[in-house]
Structure 1
Amino acid sequence: MAFVTMHLLNHALLLVSIPAAEAVRPWFLLIWRNPLGSVVLYGAVVVHLLLVLLALYRRRSLVMPAREALQVFFGLAIPLLLAEHVIGTRVMHTLTGVEDDYKYVLRALWIDNPVVGFWQAVAVVVVWGHGCLGLYFWLRYRPWYPRAAPWLLVAAVLVPVLALLGFADGGRAVAETDYVASAVDPAIIEQGVRVKGWLLPAVRGSFAAMLAAVFALRALRMRRERRNLVEIRYSDGHVVRVAKGHSVLEASRMGGIPHYAVCGGKGRCSTCRIKISEGLDDMPPAGPIERATLARIGADPDVRLACQLHPTSDLSVTPLLIPDRRRALTLATQPATPGREREIAILFCDIRSFTELSDHRLPFDIVFLLNRYFAMVGKAVEQAGGRMDKFIGDGAMALFGVDTTNVEACRQALVAAAVILDDLQRLNDELAGEINAPLRVAIGIHAGPAIVGAMGYREVMHVTAIGDTVNVASRLELVAKELDASVVVSEQAVRLSGLDLSAFDIREVDIRGRAQPLQVRVVPQGSTIAIAGQSQLVSAA
């Protein structure tokens, strides 16, 4: 991808002039036409091609998502499209010494053989599209990717467009100057044509033979496997026969049996787990990924993950999480995002003594009061750069770091807490005639890993977070009530934020479900969190 990017950017300089592109070309050749650069480049090409063929052989089914299928199709088309270009430039230069500069190549592709030039333009789109899809599949779950995606998209569009416009502009310039490759000996040109005449079919034929061999080996493997099937019996009466090597999850999908697998069949969740009633002793042992997941949920010995179990003999299973067939289509069409682990900060905020506050008040008055409070909290969270997750009774939960780093998330959470405390005083002044005592809040903040994804059903589906980090943040909000404090924030979140809260006491508190006490900073009632540049931080967010 580095080679292709540099190559296309060099082509884009043709929009300036052919001499401008030629001036940069020696630096490009210096990197890629030395022995080390050549080994790296063509070694990467060979390894990449072999890995693609190996992956095609290993796949149990060629059914795949459209984007993945497009990437594979583009990848297989690249050798066929680029063979003539590589032979006409690098190979010709090596064998005959011809200088394959821009004027030489533009005349060959734009004037002498425009059909070949058209297919090379197609090759630019195919190669670039294949590379961008590969980078997308590799980077899409990186924490920084959502912020970088718009800029990467701009580059993904501009680079090939500028390269193709440069090719067209350079071709017209060569045609207008009536350039003739007079510096090249006609005997050398004829020798090059002869070499390309036998080398090009040989290269394309060899690749086609390799591809045919892969599919032939797949057919032989499938034929061999059909002689050695295993039978998987489901508790609802379904029976699926598959070749050894398939997982139970693959068997369910091949048999059209609904089977949960939230993580996509990678052993990162336990939603595909099954209970084995017959044949457990003959099954292969669980691998490290499966063992870790089963241990985390405390599974019984007869429970396995369907995505990780590849049965070697017949067995009877019962999926422990059974999808409702009538809702299968509805669930599949929801605009949900797959849950993934992220480092985030969680803020819980709750009104102190709300039950006493709401006694003897009209329901509509309570709704008015809550809506004023929720608006205050929601505005503070959003202005700080966070996201409101949910309101429960008189409590609120907010997420920070869904689209940013954990350092920035902790900072945003503390800024939001500071704004809530400031705005609460103003709200109390406004409602002084409506309530008997000023509103007080308890805020808990913690940071760490959590699973973030769209959860719910139909219109009530929204992005939320679950995990130990959420539980600890909720516990810290309760600790704030117990200590009669405004805010209790974990020392871990304070350190990540880089903010100075040394003015507040540090304590160790016991958190239910955790073996070790947790260090926290305690902001007492009546105090505020003074953050340097707080207003700028809020306005910037």
Structure 2
Amino acid sequence: MRLKLDISRKRLHLITGLGLGLFLLTHFLNHALGLISVDAMEKGREIFNLLWRNWIGTTLLYGSLFTHFVLALDSIYRRQTLRMPPREALKIIFGLALPFMLVPHVVGTRVEWMLSGYAASYYEVLPNLWSRPSDAVRQSVALVFAWSHGCLGFWFWMRGRAWYPRYQLLLYTAALLVPVLALLGFWVGARSLEGVTASNTWFKPERTDFALLSDIRFWIYMALLGSVAGTLLLRALPVNGKIRVAYPDGRSISVARGFTLLEASRAAGIPHISICGGRGRCSTCRVRIIEGMEGLPAPGDAERNTLSRIKAPDNVRLACQLRPNHNVSIAPVLGAENVGVSTAPNPEESAGRERRIAVLFCDLRDFTRLSQQQLPFDTVFLLNRYFEMIGEAVEGAGGVVDKFIGDGALAIFGLSTGIETACQQALNATTRIARSVEILNRNFMSELDQPLRVAMGMHAGPAIIGHIGYGRASSLTAVGDTINAASRLEGFAKEYDAQLAVSADLIRYAGLPLAGHESYNIAIRGRAGTLETLIIYKAEEFEPLLAEKAAGPAVPLPGRQ
């Protein structure tokens, strides 16, 4: 039942968000007509009113706004502790601030129209707002906040779609242009009415009494404040009873039934790592249930999928998802106490950050056989030359080497650039590596029974970037599904005796065409669905393509040589 309710909340959030987004888009486009003239704004307002000033549009708009606000309050009510990372707190504060910022505008336009039938025109609204600079600033800030909130929601919703990379630049451009044009139209329209003062037009006998509108604003503010305060009060009431959570160091805390284990740790000030912020998108908060396993709520779909991916045993659960209904004893799997760290990591290191990056795995083929034929010192010398070559190629292309693993290397691109540039840098690195391996083979020709060969795998997408490790072994690294996929693609390249297996996502991000090479939809262990992958037999083939990309329109990828 809880899972079904969570799904219903998500669907309601999505539907109401789309309704509000459509309203904002049409409203801001109407503002942008001010770049032409105020008359154009008025003609656009007629179309806008046809869409939104009828019972269907009014129900959709205010139903969506009300539901969105209620869902935010519900989220606060279900959150058992208000101790959280600053980023989570800012997200909640911004979401709740929007209704308060919009009250004066809503009352001055929509409420008055509903009470008296009087629809204030742009000829009246613009001079009134710009006669008081504070009102104009407040309205502009509300516009930016509302549009940014909607764009972020759209991005989180659409970023995983297969078609999104192809239209990302177009969508990003539109996301920037709409508020900029709206604010410019707002300003230009007001400037064109500089000779018209608010006193000339704003107060008319047929309009609703100003004192009544002021009272309405006051009571709306009170209702909003009361709902927030009431939510905080309700969640503070001990209505669910108490349970105890015991930790490995002997600490035991008492919390209300309904807390997640992550919320319980935060409420008691106990360090508990959670990179994704408690949304079930990672497994860093997982705990081992020492006592009290029987009778615990079963994992929901999100928790079950994450635990399945890491092959967790039955007694391991996600702290951000499990709400125990009786006393339990737990041990955080990745907690500070379990690795002997006496102090908690700083917020930046423990929280990490999510970025879209390009990942390159590079591995030597048949290195085990090669190392058996070489003297140990010769093997070490050859490996060091190989690693030096990898490092120079990666850094020369603009990336960083994350780590060397045996005879393999992991490189990351995009820590300080956009995803498009990162993918082009990663492809450039593969061509450098391929050329360097040829040079290495020539230099060691007399010592090698057969030439060195590399297999590379590349993928692009979201990953968690943060300092991971202990003591001097701690370093900046990346974790996530993107890393796992790139590693699997390196093995896929070996299967096809190719230099490179690269995901179609990375090629699209780089702005190159997909045609001309063998393409496979492969299943990756621990990952839902398949991943479209291209087999590249000679990585140097990308060199002219990247040059063409920099110089002009892309050309088709050549076939296998």
TM-score (norm 2): 0.69
Deviation at 1:530, TM superposition (A): 5.3
CA distance in 2, matches of 1:310, 1:236: 21
Change (3 A) 1:11 1:173: farther
CA distance in 2, matches of 1:190, 1:294: 67
Letter in 2 for 1:321: L
User: Is the Cα contact below 8 Å between 1:245 and 1:310 reproduced in 2?
Assistant: yes
Alignment counterpart, residue 139 of structure 1, candidates 151, 155, 179: 155
Deviation at 1:433, TM superposition (A): 9.2
Superposed CA offset, 1:439-495 (max 9, x none): 532314376989553353588313466665344345456657xxxx56374899999
1:122 matched to 2:142: no
User: Is the Cα contact below 8 Å between 1:476 and 1:489 reproduced in 2?
Assistant: yes
Q: Which residue of 1 is the match for residue 9 of structure 2?
A: none
Equivalenced residues, count: 505
CA distance in 1, matches of 2:444, 2:287: 59
CA distance in 2, matches of 1:501, 1:203: 64
Change (3 A) 1:93 1:378: closer
Change (3 A) 1:140 1:270: closer
User: Is the Cα contact below 8 Å between 1:12 and 1:163 reproduced in 2?
Assistant: yes
Q: What are the residue-to-residue correspondences of 1:312-351 with 2, within 5 Å?
A: 312-324=325-337, 328-334=343-349, 337-338=352-353, 346-350=360-364
Q: Which residue of 1 is the match for residue 222 of structure 2?
A: 208
Q: Which residue of 1 is the match for residue 289 of structure 2?
A: 276
User: Is the Cα contact below 8 Å between 1:479 and 1:488 reproduced in 2?
Assistant: no
Q: What are the residue-to-residue correspondences of 1:345-364 with 2, within 5 Å?
A: 346-350=360-364, 355=371
CA distance in 2, matches of 1:174, 1:74: 35
Q: Which residue of 2 is the match for residue 57 of structure 1?
A: 77
User: Is the Cα contact below 8 Å between 2:282 and 2:306 reproduced in 1?
Assistant: yes
Q: Which residue of 2 is the match for residue 232 of structure 1?
A: 245
Answer with 77-86 or 443-452: which moved more. Answer: 443-452
Q: Which residue of 2 is the match for residue 44 of structure 1?
A: 64
Q: Which residue of 2 is the match for residue 252 of structure 1?
A: 265
Alignment counterpart, residue 266 of structure 1, candidates 275, 279, 299: 279
User: Is the Cα contact below 8 Å between 2:468 and 2:476 reproduced in 1?
Assistant: yes
Deviation at 1:257, TM superposition (A): 1.6
Q: Which residue of 2 is the match for residue 498 of structure 1?
A: 514
User: Is the Cα contact below 8 Å between 2:245 and 2:252 reproduced in 1?
Assistant: yes
Deviation at 1:346, TM superposition (A): 4.6
Q: Which residue of 2 is the match for residue 442 of structure 1?
A: 454
Change (3 A) 1:474 1:452: farther
Q: Which residue of 2 is the match for residue 460 of structure 1?
A: 475
User: Is the Cα contact below 8 Å between 1:80 and 1:204 reproduced in 2?
Assistant: no
Letter in 2 for 1:104: E
User: Is the Cα contact below 8 Å between 1:336 and 1:461 reproduced in 2?
Assistant: no
Answer with 454-463 or 247-256: which moved more. Answer: 454-463
User: Is the Cα contact below 8 Å between 2:458 and 2:501 reproduced in 1?
Assistant: yes
Q: Secondary structure at the match of 1:280?
A: coil
Letter in 2 for 1:443: A
Change (3 A) 1:435 1:460: same
User: Is the Cα contact below 8 Å between 2:287 and 2:330 reproduced in 1?
Assistant: yes
Structure 2 unpaired stretches of 5+: 1-20, 555-561
Letter in 2 for 1:251: A
Deviation at 1:436, TM superposition (A): 7.1
CA distance in 2, matches of 1:370, 1:78: 53
Q: Which residue of 1 is the match for residue 10 of structure 2?
A: none
Q: Which residue of 2 is the match for residue 536 of structure 1?
A: 547
CA distance in 2, matches of 1:201, 1:436: 88
Superposed CA offset, 1:209-248 (max 9, x none): 354255335424533338x211222231111111111112
Q: Which residue of 1 is the match for residue 23 of structure 2?
A: 3
Answer with 51-60 or 530-539: which moved more. Answer: 530-539
Deviation at 1:131, TM superposition (A): 3.8
TM-score (norm 1): 0.72
Deviation at 1:106, TM superposition (A): 3.4
Letter in 2 for 1:124: S
Q: Secondary structure at the match of 1:241?
A: strand
Answer with 527-536 or 465-474: which moved more. Answer: 527-536
Superposed CA offset, 1:14-62 (max 9, x none): 4554344345443433433345433332332232233333334333234
Alignment counterpart, residue 392 of structure 2, candidates 375, 378, 383: 375
Change (3 A) 1:282 1:532: closer
Letter in 1 for 2:229: F
Seq. identity, %: 29
CA distance in 2, matches of 1:536, 1:79: 50
Letter in 2 for 1:348: C
Change (3 A) 1:11 1:148: closer
Structure 1 unpaired stretches of 5+: none
CA distance in 1, matches of 2:505, 2:38: 56
Deviation at 1:122, TM superposition (A): 0.7
Q: Secondary structure at the match of 1:304?
A: strand
Change (3 A) 1:173 1:17: farther
User: Is the Cα contact below 8 Å between 1:83 and 1:200 reproduced in 2?
Assistant: no
Change (3 A) 1:322 1:500: same
User: Is the Cα contact below 8 Å between 2:260 and 2:320 reproduced in 1?
Assistant: yes
Superposed CA offset, 1:75-102 (max 9, x none): 5555455444334434444555545222
User: Is the Cα contact below 8 Å between 1:347 and 1:399 reproduced in 2?
Assistant: no
Letter in 2 for 1:60: Q
